[in-house]
Amino acid sequence: METMEVGKVSPEYVSTLPPQRSLFTRVTAALFRSPIGVAGTAIVGFVLLLALIGPQISPHEAVGHNLRARFQPPGYSDSAGAYVLGTDQLGRDILSRIIAGSRVSVLVGIVSVLIAGTIGVTYGLVSGFLGGYVDTVLMRIVDALLSIPFIVLVVAISGVVGAGLGTLILILGCTGWVTYARVIRGEVLKVREMEYVVAAYAVGQNRPMVMLRHILPNVISSAIVLAAVQVAVTILAESSLSFLGLGVKTPTVTWGLMLADGKAYINSAWWMTFYPGIAITVTVLGVVFLGDWLRDFLDPNIRARA
């Protein structure tokens, strides 16, 4: 009888195993099983594309004035071209300004979340891994910051340091990290007691190596899901601050500034606030839908029940 060496797998057995699918194939298959995931991906992808190629497809200059075309309703056209979504009090094309505003929303949302996520994940990882007195002190700082409403804290800092695109990104990034710290710290407390972490110590790996190689990869999925949700929160915060005059200033175009410009003419020129409001709402919903799908896709318990 033919024998097989221990530790080797017969070719006949390997041939009966199902083929291994690539990561892209698995992600695509999971995405198309979720209508919410498809909708969120489509919306976010469209906004990102709009931000990237906006200047090339914009029908008019976003900051160009045309006083002869002031307060024209959607569908108006003249010798300068068509104004599909109408014009504002200075004759500026609403559609072109919405396209330009998408670039600011994407920039603020992504960069601020990257800053906040980096700070928060590092903070929560160190706090949960070290534990003891260090964890107590670090978490009391987080509790103190969480006791202040996020938008109130951002408004207070903006009022002190001034407005501007770069300043706003730093403010949102440096105030939004506390949520990451709290979530990641809780995940680390759970993961650090797992058997594979204990085994890593047993084979002689040092603490920094255990933290980076065995704990961080197993908590990063929670940070990714949280980051997707925080992008929506950041876009809303930027729009709110710009609307209040504490965020980005003109001539930079943002959806919040468009709402601020149109509030005085809401009865006579409703399109000045309606379309920017729709842009904010749809973008935020798309990001939330995508984050909801990411939570289901990255959670092994939910995948096992599916």
Span 236-266, pLDDT tens digits: 988 988 888 888 888 889 999 999 999 989 9
User: Per-residue DSSP letters for 59-98?
Assistant: SS-SS---GGGTTPPTTEEETTEEETT-B-TT--BHHHHH
Can you read off the two tokens belonging to residue 18?
A: 């199902």
Residue 93 phi, psi dihedral angles, 5° rounding: -70, 125
pLDDT (0 to 100) of residue 12: 54
Burial of 250 (0-12, 13-18, 19+ CB in 10 A): exposed
Give the separation between CA 128 and CA 223, rounded to whole angstroms: 15
146 CB-near residues (< 8 Å, 6+ apart): 178, 179, 182
Residue count (the chain): 306
- Strand, coil or helix: what is 253? coil
Does 149 sit behind a cis peptide bond, omega within 30 degrees of 0 on the bond before it? no
Give the separation between CA 215 and CA 187, rounded to whole angstroms: 9
153 CB-near residues (< 8 Å, 6+ apart): 145, 175
Give the separation between CA 75 and CA 242, rounded to whole angstroms: 28
Using 70 as the pLDDT threshold, list the residues of the chain that sit under it.
Answer: 1-21, 23, 163, 300-306
Type of residue numbered 125: L
Residue 20 phi, psi dihedral angles, 5° rounding: -75, 125
- CB of 246 closer than 8 Å to CB of 157: no
Can you read off the two tokens belonging to residue 202?
A: 């047993």
